[in-house]
């Protein structure tokens, strides 16, 4: 077996371990899940699990990291002075709605939210990490304000407000009510509505 083949096999095993951990955490909760159960579900030895992850908490943190990476990728945006800001924001909102509608995102989010409520020690830095994923939006809002396109007193407040509007249509209904993910047509419609409401209130009266 070549080095490249060994690396590929190692990546496959790591992926299988993560998937097994997600399933076990969902079925039994963080506290009741053991490395033995994860290894059994992943069809690998305990030693293999420990080769990839130090302990159960390390596994959970990796799952949290996967969710954070998804959130960060969706939150990347640069202010473009030559493009109408409402058009830019609508594109961002649509991307957010689409990401929050993905089955994989919702699966990880359900798991993480439940375990953070059950185990306060796991949520120690999680809130701040999730807040950091919104830095891209905050920078964009500040640039739009500097360019006199928007007017608002507090960036953090309007960021929370906008993300709250987005998650009201695509995240919380799926998490709490098991609602179906939005269709592409509905994503477009909701993005248009939210952008219009936001700009209708915060558009600069220059």
Is pLDDT above 80 for 167?
Answer: yes
Going along the chain from its start, the domains and CATH numbers come out as 1-53 (1.10.10.60), 61-202 (1.10.357.10)
Mean pLDDT, range 185-204, rounded to an integer: 96
Go through the chain and tell me how many residues it has: 206
Which of 34-44 are b and which e, b meaning 16 or more Cβ less than 10 Å from the residue's Cβ?
A: ebebbbebbeb
Q: How would residue 29 be classed by pLDDT, with cut points 50, 70 and 90?
A: confident
Average pLDDT over residues 91-102: 91
3-state secondary structure (DSSP) of residue 150: strand
Tokens, residue 113: 């939210």
Dist CA 171 CA 129 (whole Å): 18
Q: What is the mean pLDDT of the chain?
A: 87
Whole-number pLDDT of residue 6: 57
Q: How confident is the model at residue 30 (pLDDT cuts 50, 70, 90)?
A: confident
Percent of the chain with pLDDT over 90: 52
pLDDT one-digit tens code per residue, 123-154: 556 656 666 667 889 999 999 999 999 999 99
Structure tokens that stand for 159 in this block: 């960021």
Residue with tokens 């590929």: 8
DSSP string for residues in 122-164: TTTTHHHHHHHTTHHHHHHHHHHHHTTSB--S-HHHHHHHHHH
Model pLDDT for residues 1-17, shown as the tens digit of each residue? 565 555 577 888 999 99
Give the pLDDT confidence score for residue 101 in this predicted structure: 86
* E runs forming strands in 8-135: none
Compute the average pLDDT of residues 49-58: 92
Q: Report pLDDT for 120.
A: 66
């Amino acid at each position: 077996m070549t080095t490249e083949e060994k690396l590929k096999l190692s990546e496959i095993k790591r992926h299988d371990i993560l998937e097994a951990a997600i399933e076990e955490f969902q079925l039994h909760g963080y506290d009741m899940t053991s490395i033995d159960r994860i290894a059994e579900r992943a069809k690998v030895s305990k030693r293999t699990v420990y080769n990839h992850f130090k302990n159960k908490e390390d596994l959970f943190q990796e799952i949290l990291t996967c969710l954070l990476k998804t959130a960060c990728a969706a939150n990347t945006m640069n202010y473009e002075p030559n493009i109408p800001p409402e058009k830019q924001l609508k594109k961002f909102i649509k991307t957010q709605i689409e990401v929050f509608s993905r089955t994989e995102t919702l699966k990880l989010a359900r798991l993480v939210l439940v375990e953070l409520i059950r185990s306060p020690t796991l949520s120690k830095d999680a809130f701040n990490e999730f807040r950091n994923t919104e830095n891209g939006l905050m920078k964009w809002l500040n640039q739009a304000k500097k360019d006199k396109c928007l007017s608002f007193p507090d960036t953090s407040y309007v960021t929370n407000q906008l993300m709250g509007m987005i998650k009201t249509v695509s995240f919380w209904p799926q998490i709490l009510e098991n609602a179906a993910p939005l269709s592409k047509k509905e994503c477009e419609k909701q993005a248009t509505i939210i952008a219009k409401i936001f700009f209708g209130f915060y558009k600069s009266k220059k």
